[in-house]
């Protein structure tokens, strides 16, 4: 049924785009009027896409934004944060559990900062910095392979390995063997990013949350971005899923991150649309050589595409971010080849395009209220509309 719904949505999108982006070759006044109409039509197209998805139960609501270096081109909210017991409208200041976007915004960018500071060499084996990680075939795994998901580590080890807290969980990870030879296969791995989170902690001398906050979130005034948000923010946080007699709201949805205390390299970060735009704009500034935090050379290292794996590639990834891989459905069809991004299991999407100088944010809580939502195709369709309109 969902595949048929996706096809219907793509057919609808094609028709909407034909209206929104028709060519106009008249005088300047007519061109300006056409531009205004195009913006109105793009907004109408997005509203129709989101309203349809809400009606089909794919999500309860969404915050959608497209921004440039100085302007917010598009920002709108749809639907609800809570649907019961009483409906509560989604607002622009809603805070979301980012799920795997934590990998990119926090962990991978923190690793890039260590690279920039010349504290790590990404081509060296992980065990050079974390000696206890070696053994059972893992000696050759490099930092770069963890960032690209070609480490050979399992996607996830048993949840039971995490139930005795983060120290025991780390011992269990160090005792894991390989699923495949390092570099031989692309397999998206939460475990690889838990390892990278531990790497940041060991090399910097600070926990991942403290390092990311001090080097990234605080300098960028990202006041809504944090692990383990306090109870005082609960009224602004979107719930994720039902658990027993209550909803998961204000604590991380990912069970392994939860058992590790809410701070882990693969999941746990919360944020809002405003903060993600701030973050994306800083990376755009880095692409122009204008960032005070991230050097242009660091960003270039970070977003250079790599085939994954090198032989018999299944796509391309950049350091800790998606590029064009089996996970890129939420990318859409209108961003440049330099664009990079990431999605999150809870229904979150972030793409940054250094060529078109765009930041695209799609935030939803797709698992609420029934655990059955799906948003990747929707987010990709909206990315196509916005990329065509403002790129």
Residue 21's pLDDT is what?
45
Residue 5's pLDDT is what?
52
3-state secondary structure of 86: coil
Return the H-helix or E-strand segment holding 306.
Answer: strand 306-307
Residue 22's pLDDT is what?
43
3-state secondary structure of 308: coil
3-state secondary structure of 45: helix
Residue 11's pLDDT is what?
55
**pTM for the model:** 0.93
Q: DSSP letters along 241-279, please?
A: -EETTEE--SS-S-HHHHHTTS--SSS-EEE-HHHHHHH
User: Which stretches of the chain drop beneath a pLDDT of 70?
Assistant: 1-37
Q: Which of 92, 12, 21, 88 is nearest to 50 (CA)?
A: 12
Q: In terms of C-beta density within 10 A (0-12 exposed, 13-18 middle, 19 or more buried), how is residue 43 classed?
A: middle
pLDDT in tens, 155-213: 999 999 999 999 999 999 999 999 999 999 999 999 999 999 999 999 999 999 999 99
Residue 302's pLDDT is what?
98
Residue 16's pLDDT is what?
56
- On whether the CB atoms of residues 280 and 361 are closer than 8 A, the answer is yes
């Amino acid at each position: 049924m969902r595949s048929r719904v996706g096809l219907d949505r793509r057919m609808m999108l094609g028709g909407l785009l034909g209206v929104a982006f028709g060519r106009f070759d008249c005088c300047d006044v007519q061109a300006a009027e056409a531009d205004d109409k195009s913006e109105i039509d793009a907004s109408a197209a997005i509203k129709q896409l989101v309203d349809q998805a809400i009606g089909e139960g794919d999500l309860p609501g969404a915050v959608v934004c497209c921004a440039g270096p100085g302007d917010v081109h598009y920002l709108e909210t749809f639907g609800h944060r809570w649907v019961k017991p009483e409906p509560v409208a989604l607002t622009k200041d809603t805070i979301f559990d980012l799920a795997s976007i934590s990998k990119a915004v926090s962990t991978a960018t923190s690793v890039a900062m260590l690279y920039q500071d010349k504290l790590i060499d990404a081509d060296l084996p992980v065990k050079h910095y974390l000696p206890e990680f070696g053994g059972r075939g893992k000696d050759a795994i490099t930092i770069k392979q963890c960032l690209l998901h070609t480490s050979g580590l399992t996607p996830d080890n048993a949840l039971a390995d995490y139930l005795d807290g983060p120290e025991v969980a780390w011992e269990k990870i160090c005792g894991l063997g390989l699923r495949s030879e390092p570099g031989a296969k692309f397999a998206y791995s939460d475990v690889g990013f838990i390892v990278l989170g531990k790497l940041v902690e060991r090399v910097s001398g600070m926990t991942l949350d403290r390092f990311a906050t001090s080097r990234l979130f605080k300098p960028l005034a990202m006041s809504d971005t944090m692990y383990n948000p306090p109870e005082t923010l609960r009224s602004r946080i979107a719930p994720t899923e039902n658990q027993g007699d209550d909803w998961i709201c204000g604590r991380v949805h990912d069970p392994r991150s939860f058992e590790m205390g809410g701070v882990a390299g693969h999941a746990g970060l919360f944020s809002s649309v405003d903060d993600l735009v701030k973050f994306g704009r800083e990376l755009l500034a880095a692409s122009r050589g204008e960032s005070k935090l991230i050097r242009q050379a660091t960003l270039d290292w970070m977003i250079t595409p790599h085939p994954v794996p090198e032989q018999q590639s299944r796509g391309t990834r950049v350091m800790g971010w998606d590029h064009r891989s089996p996970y890129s459905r939420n990318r859409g069809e209108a961003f440049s080849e330099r664009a990079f991004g990431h999605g999150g299991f809870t229904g979150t999407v972030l793409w940054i395009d250094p060529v078109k100088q765009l930041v695209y944010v799609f935030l939803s809580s797709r698992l609420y209220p029934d655990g059955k939502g799906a948003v990747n195709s929707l987010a990709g369709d909206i990315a196509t509309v916005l990329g065509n309109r403002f790129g």
